[in-house]
Amino acid sequence: MNFLAPLYALGALAILGPIVLHLVRKRPSEVLDFSSLMFLDAAPPKLTSRSHIEQWLLLACRTLLIGSIAFAFARPYLNSAIQHAASSRRGVHRLLLIDTSASMQRPGIRDSVGDVTRKWIDEASAGDTLAVYSFSNQLVSHLSVRDSLNVPIGGRSPTALAAVEKVAPDWGIGNVGQALASSLDALQIDYANGERNEEMEIALVTDLATGNSLDGMVGIEWPSHARLRVLAVKPTTLGNAYATLLPTEQDVESTNSDREPDGGLVRSNPVQQGAKGSWRVRVTNEAGGSHEVFTLQWLDAKGIPIEGSAVPCRVPLGTSTVVRLQEPPSGATAYELFGDATVFDNRRFFVPPAQRSMSVACVEADIADPENSLRFFAEHVPLDEETLHVDWLHWKPGSPGSKESLPSPIEAAKIPLVLVGHELTDEEVVALKLYLTSGGNVLDVWDRSAEETDASGKKWGLRYAERLQAWTGFDAATVTESKVDQYRLLASVDLKSPLFAPFADAKFNDFSKIRFWKHRQVSLRQEEPWTISARFDSGSPAIFSTTVGSGTLTILAAGWQPNESQLALSSKFVPMLSQWFALALPKTNEGVVWESGERFDDSRFEKMLIPGTSIARDLDLPQAGWKLSVPGIYSGTLSNGTSQSLAINVPLAESKTQVIDLEEFSRLGVRMETAAKRPESEQVLRQLQATELESRQGGWWWLLVAALAFVAIESLLCVKQSLIGTNAK
Amino acid sequence: MPSLTSRAEPHESQGTDTHRWIDLKTLMAIQDLQWRAKTVVDGFQTGLHRSPLHGFSVEFSEYRPFSMGDDPRNIDWKLYARSDRYYIKKFEDETNRRCYLVVDQSRSMNYGSVGYSKLDYARTLSATIAFQLIRQRDAVGLITFDAVVADLLTARYRTGQLKRILSMLERPTSGEATDLVSPLRQVSDLVRHRSLVTIVSDFLVSPEELQTPLAFLRARKHEVVLMRVLDPREIDFQHPNPVMVRDLESGQERFVDPTLVRESYRKRFEEHEARLKAIAEPLGIAVVQLPTDYPLELALHEFLSQRERGLTTRQAVGDRYGTGAHSGGTPGQGGSRG
């Protein structure tokens, strides 16, 4: 037998009252008027010995009466039925989803995670399944739903606890939305064979930092039988300050033009662009902290602050300030924000940019009038950058063995772009074919009329078509001279193409001032392999390109010289040629800032030295890439034997540690668990079942009936005693 | 009444067979106080033949030869006619004695366990004494008191004095707490002529408080008799069961188990009685303890005999207080009547 409210049973102690009262000699009701009390001492009632209890039956009635009432209030029930009910109860599919993003590295959070997870696991019923997942950039399974199903009942909680012990925060960026969506998939897929409407619960253990992205939940329909329970954890230190390197004003303009071929922004590289002069660093101090005075300082490769580089700054809570740092001293690999209590994101790494040297070659015969040559305008285009020096090479066609002849082979790594005029020998075509195949880029400018003939009497149009076929292997195209009454304009400019992407803004996409006095009309047999970036208004392709091996071949069907067009004289020429060169430059990760947790998929790397260790990991990159787990400077070895360093930093989003409003989850349709809907713990469920069982058994009711019966018996006994006393008097 | 033996010592020789005396319950049932008093006094007179005391009336005492200086009005001329000699006829005290009955009417006097209260007994006793004294042509006065003097009737011998006394005794009383000190002081102020002051009370106060007022009375040459009226239960505290006892005067209640407190009660009561006697006797004051079941005839007898003893002891006491010469046993001012 159990009791719903066992404390009420203590009321049974009240039976001591009647026992004591029965032992106490009754206070006489008779009052004797007496002349004086001056000779009388008070003789208070005293306890008689036990044997002097005279009304045993009455005492029994009274004690039973009090005992019945006390036990009725204690709500007794038989618990055998409850055990049966508990064993027959169906379990809930529970999934523990632990945030392991970088912001969870904050002090105190790990202990808090341990506490809340243990509590959550303890609340689970024996029949519940317990799966354990973690997430930062991606969802990681520690104890899958299916594995949890295979664990026998009774062993699930220990197994889940063991899985939780293995979960540790990493340095990735938290993607809550994606993790929730993946968790739902895991739950629903693994229960596909069972009942679809089985109760599911996802417990999200997170610090709810605003850096967590909820975008992954957009468009996800949250199932009605699943609910989310957020187990928020808090660090011991509140607030956070972080420093981010800003691009210079000049960089801001150039960033707009840095677009990848697919239209996305090129990875921001403030380090490279801020290498010269002062560096601008934005220091942000989030609200809720306790510090407002910070110091920015450069660190060397060993993480030791470099003396003389400290810059103090004061940032009020909830604001940000831009601080200018001097150019990093030699040997500096990071800068750190000192004075912030939350230190996980205070150090940010960078790789000092290395100076590179490249060359651009122009294959063109000498021309009497230099203004009508390709080189005249091209060589005036500034291709140099802060860390890149560009030399112009002039190769003369048809001069084998001379200094100005085409080298063989042409190193694509050092000469990323070759401009080709109208004249080329067959050998040079072959050499350039090899160059293209090895990754070189050729810009073939057809700057001579197709109707004109070369020294052998062959029309240039035919020559263009032949070398086009030689380089690409496509069906021969027909190149003829277009009939131009006055001029032709560029039409159908593909602003999405890499070449014209910098002109995508309406302010720059006016090409109507570039007039072509003459141009070549090309009829491509197969247009599919070609990417036509622009056409003349006659419909003939003007700029079209294709890949040849690892390289790219681009054709300009007219010359940019003034006798051909106004292209070289237009404002579009310099950015177009710069873009051709930029597209031709070999991809490099030097100076690029990566974020920890990202996937690294540069196949040129063969080995990578993990920071803080001496482990040089062989990079056998899978399709998904290799995870950059720890912030720091990674030293990689490329396949050509050269080494290159990568700076991996804590994701900037993780530095934003303000707490997300839980309403955000509700807005995305997530069924949040409320207090009313919270699944009861085993103990609470038992209590509820006990309540139900007790109300069904109604033991308290019978006890109250017994109490009433005892009241009646007691009353009868009292009346009887009273009558006896009266008769005796 | 075995319980009275120790207190009724003066008349032990007369026996304690209450059947020979008037039934008190029957007597108390008589509403008319005068009738009660008359019944007692008549019964008392009837029983005098058994009394060892003789003569309470004014009667002839002796003859003596006339001598110079005697008042010729006292010459017994009849005897001169027979014997042709001058004789002076001397009688017992013919002058009216003044007696003040001081009756306690406090609340404690309302207690009674024998069918009537101590106050009933005290009133009847006072009426009886007054009846007897007036019949002896003595001047009788009455003072009733509780905490203070309530009523005063100056001692006189005149027609209707008895009725006034009886009506005053029959007057219902409010009854407050007993305070003997203040009333006795008032009595000593009010009664200026030397008198017999008979205080009828239960004397349930501290005896030490009475010493000064009693001495004051005696200093005024009053003859004082303390008639202590007690209920039999007050003497032995006989009660069968534990009981809540309520003080009639203060209303205070106290739980009492008689079996536990009886001995201590008796001890304290006897101690109180001894202290009262210890204070009264050196002053020449008699203390007569009268249980309410004690026959009134015997009580009257106690009064009269105490009066007689008081007259005999007054000389010694008067000497102590410097009054012996004045209150000496001159025939005209007292002396034994027996």
DSSP string, A642-698: -EEEEEEE--GGGG--PBPPTHHHHHTT--B--TTTPPPPHHHHHHHHHHHHHHHHT
Q: Which of A25, A30, A37 comes nearest B254 by C-beta?
A: A37
Residue B234 phi, psi (nearest 5):
-70, -20
| b/e per residue A283-322 (b: at least 16 CB within 10 A) | bbbbeebeeeebbbbbbeeeeebbeebebebebeeeebee
- Give the whole-angstrom CA distance, residue B25 versus residue B28: 5
Instruction: Give the residue from A501, A505, A499 showing the smallest Cα distance to A579.
Output: A499
Q: Find, in chain A, the residue whose alpha carbon is nearest to that of B236.
A: A39
Taking an 8 Å cut-off on Cβ atoms, the answer to whether B243 and A39 are in contact is: no
Cβ contacts of A269 within 8 Å, gap of 6 or more: A591, A592, A593
Query: Rounded distance, CA A497 to CA A486, Å?
Result: 28
CA distances (Å), A438 to each of A221, A577, A583, B109, B171, in order? 50, 22, 16, 143, 151
Q: Express each pLDDT in B120-144 by its tens digit.
A: 999 999 998 898 888 877 889 999 9
Q: Does A728 touch chain B (CB under 8 A)?
A: no
Candidate from B204, B241, B249 with C-beta closest to A28: B241
User: For residue A305, is the peptide bond before it cis, meaning its omega torsion is within 30 degrees of 0?
Assistant: no
pLDDT in tens, B169-193: 888 776 667 778 888 888 888 888 8
Residues of chain A with pLDDT under 50: 50-51, 85-88, 250-275, 675-676
Q: Which residues of B touch A44 (CB under 8 A)?
A: 255
Written as six digits, the tokens of B311 are 């007259």
Residue of B204, B255, B271 for testing the chain A interface, max A β-carbons within 10 Å:
B255
Interatomic CA distance for residues A424 and A509, integer angstroms: 34
Provide the Cα torsion A505, A507, A509, A511; round to 10°.
-170
Optimal mutation site among A24, A25, A31, A32, interface B, most CBs of chain B within 10 A:
A32
| pLDDT at B73 (0 to 100) | 83
Containing A445, the helix (H) or strand (E) segment is strand A441-445
Strands A605-609 and A616-618: antiparallel
Q: Tell me if B254 and A44 make a contact (CB, 8 A cut-off).
A: no
Indicate the residue type of A357: S
Within 10 angstroms of residue A269's Cβ, the number of other Cβ atoms is 21
Distance CA B11, CA B294 (A): 12
In this prediction, residue A680 carries a pLDDT of 55
Note the maximum CA span of chain B.
82
Cα of A602 vs its chain's centroid, Å: 21
pLDDT value, residue A47: 52
Distance CA B167, CA A166 (A): 115
List of residues 6+ apart from B329 with CB closer than 8 A = B311, B312, B314, B315, B335
Identify which of A35, A38, A44 has the shortest CB distance to residue B255: A44
Compute how many other C-beta atoms are within 10 angstroms of the C-beta atom of residue A721.
14
Chain A from 185 to 204: CB within 8 A of any B CB = none
Other C-beta atoms closer than 10 Å to the C-beta of B268 total 16
Q: Best of A25, A30, A35 to disrupt the B interface by mutation (most B CBs within 10 Å)?
A: A35
- Give the bridge partners for A479, in sequence order: A522
Contact B156, B141 (CB under 8 A): yes
Q: Does A49 touch chain B (CB under 8 A)?
A: no
Residue A40 is nearest to which of B202, B261, B272, comparing CB atoms? Answer: B261
| Distance, CA of A193 to CA of A187 (rounded, Å) | 11
State yes or no: pLDDT of B282 exceeds 80.
yes
For residue B3, give the nearest of B234, B256, B247 by alpha carbon: B234
Please answer yes or no on whether A40 and B254 come within 8 Å at the CB atom. yes
H/E stretch holding A229 reads strand A226-232
- CB atoms closer than 10 angstroms to residue A29: 7
Please give the distance of CA B282 from its chain centroid, rounded to a whole number.
18
Rounded Cα distance between A600 and A605, Å, is: 10
Q: Among B108, B254, B255, select the one facing A35 at the smallest CB separation.
A: B108
Give strand pairing partners of B75: B88
Between helix A56-73 and helix A699-728 the angle, nearest 10°, is 160
Residue B205 Cα, gap to closest chain A Cα (Å): 9
What single-letter amino acid sits at B256? V
* Contact between chains at B248 and A35 (C-beta distance less than 8 A): yes
Q: What is the pLDDT of residues A411-455, one digit of tens each?
A: 888 899 999 988 888 888 989 999 999 889 999 999 889 898 888
Question: Which has the closest alpha carbon to B149: B185, B115, B116?
Answer: B185
DSSP state at residue A282: E
Tokens representing A32? 């004797």
Under the phi-then-psi rule, with left for phi > 0, alpha for psi from -120 to 50, and beta for the rest, what region is A625?
left
Interchain pair A28, B244: CB under 8 A:
yes
Contact criterion met (CB < 8 Å) for B260 and A43: yes
The minimal CB distance from B239 to the residues A32, A35, A41 is found for: A32
Chain A residue with minimum CA distance to B270: A39
Query: Which of chain A's residues have a Cβ under 8 Å away from the Cβ of B268?
Result: 38-39
Task: Give the ipTM.
Answer: 0.71
- Residue B329: is its pLDDT beyond 70? no
Residue with tokens 């664990």: A151
pLDDT, residue A442, reads 93
pLDDT score recorded for residue A720: 86
Q: How many CB pairs under 8 A join A and B?
A: 83
- Minimum distance, in Å, between the CA of residue A25 and any CA atom of chain B: 10
Which of A301-315, A621-635, B26-40, B235-249 is predicted with the least confidence, judged by mean pLDDT? Answer: A621-635
Task: From chain B, pick out residues whose CB is under 8 angstroms from the CB of A40.
Answer: 237, 245, 254, 256, 261, 265
* pLDDT for A283: 92
Question: Which pLDDT does position A435 carry in this prediction?
Answer: 92
| pLDDT at res. A630 | 82
Yes or no: say if A395 and A421 are a contact pair by the CB < 8 Å rule.
Answer: no
User: Using 50, 70 and 90 to split pLDDT, how confident is the model at B13?
Assistant: very low
- Are A36 and B249 within 8 A, CB to CB? yes
Q: Which of A28, A31, A41 sits opposite B261 (nearest CB)?
A: A41
**A52 half-sphere exposure, CB direction, 13 A CA radius:** 11
